[in-house]
Chains A and B, each alone.
Chain A
Amino acid sequence: MSDVAVYRKRRGVEAVLLLFSIATAMAGYLLTGLDIDAELPAEWPWALGIFTGLALAAHIVVRIRIPYADPVILPLIMLLNGLGLAVIHRLDLGGSERLHSAERQLGWMVGAVVVFCLVVIFLRNYEALHRYPYLLFLFGLTLLMLPLVPGLSRENHGSKIWIAIGTFTFQPAEVAKIVLCIAFAAYLVDKREVLASAGPKLLGIEMPRARDLGPIAIMWLASMAIMVFQKDLGTSLLFFSMVVVMLYIATERPIWPILGTLLFAGGATAAYFNFSHVQVRVSSWLNPFSDYDQNYQIITGQFGIAWGGAIGTGWGLGRPNLTPLAKTDFIAAALAEELGLAGLVALMLVYAIIVARGLRAALGSQDPFGKLLAAGLSFTFAIQVFTILGGVTRLLPLTGLTTPFMSQGGSSLVANWSMMALLLIITHHARRPQQLRSETPIIDFTSDTTMVLQRQGA
Chain B
Amino acid sequence: MPDLVTLGLKLGFLALLWLAVLFTAGAIRTDVFGRKISTNDLAKAEAASRKQMKDAKRLAKKLKLTHGPQAGTSLSLGSPIVIGRADDCQLILEDDYVSTHHARLARNNNYDVVEDLGSTNGTFVNNQRISVPTQVGPGDSIRIGQSVMVLEK
Contact = CB atoms under 8 A, between A and B. Distances in A.
Interface in B12-52: 12-14, 16-21, 23-25, 27-28, 31, 33-40, 42-43, 45-46
A256 to B, nearest CB: 30
Contacts of B10: 31, 311-312, 314-315
B17 A72 contact: no
B67 A443 contact: yes
Interface residues of B, number: 45
B117 interface: no
Interface stretch (A21-29, A236-244, A280-288): A21-29
Contact of A441 (B17, B33, B46, B127): B127
B126 interface: yes
Nearest to A73: B24
B21 A346 contact: yes
A72 B40 contact: no
A86 to B, nearest CB: 10
Contacts of B40: 1
A339 interface: yes
A342 interface: yes
Contacts, number: 126
Contact of A20 (B23, B35, B97, B141): B23
A210 interface: no
Interface residues of A, number: 53
A4 B139 CA distance: 26
A212 interface: no
Interface in A19-53: 20-21, 23-24, 27-28, 31, 34-35, 38
B134 interface: no
B17 A24 contact: yes
B1 interface: yes
A131 interface: no
B28 A353 contact: yes
Nearest to B97: A450
Rank and list the top 10 A-B pairs by shortest CB-CB distance, nearest first.
Answer: A441-B141, A5-B34, A314-B10, A20-B20, A7-B34, A3-B36, A13-B27, A346-B17, A72-B24, A342-B14
Given A2-B39, A5-B33, A6-B42, 20 more contacts: A1-B38, A3-B37, A3-B38, A5-B34, A6-B34, A6-B37, A7-B34, A8-B35, A13-B27, A24-B16, A24-B20, A27-B13, A34-B1, A317-B6, A339-B13, A349-B21, A441-B141, A443-B127, A443-B143, A455-B96
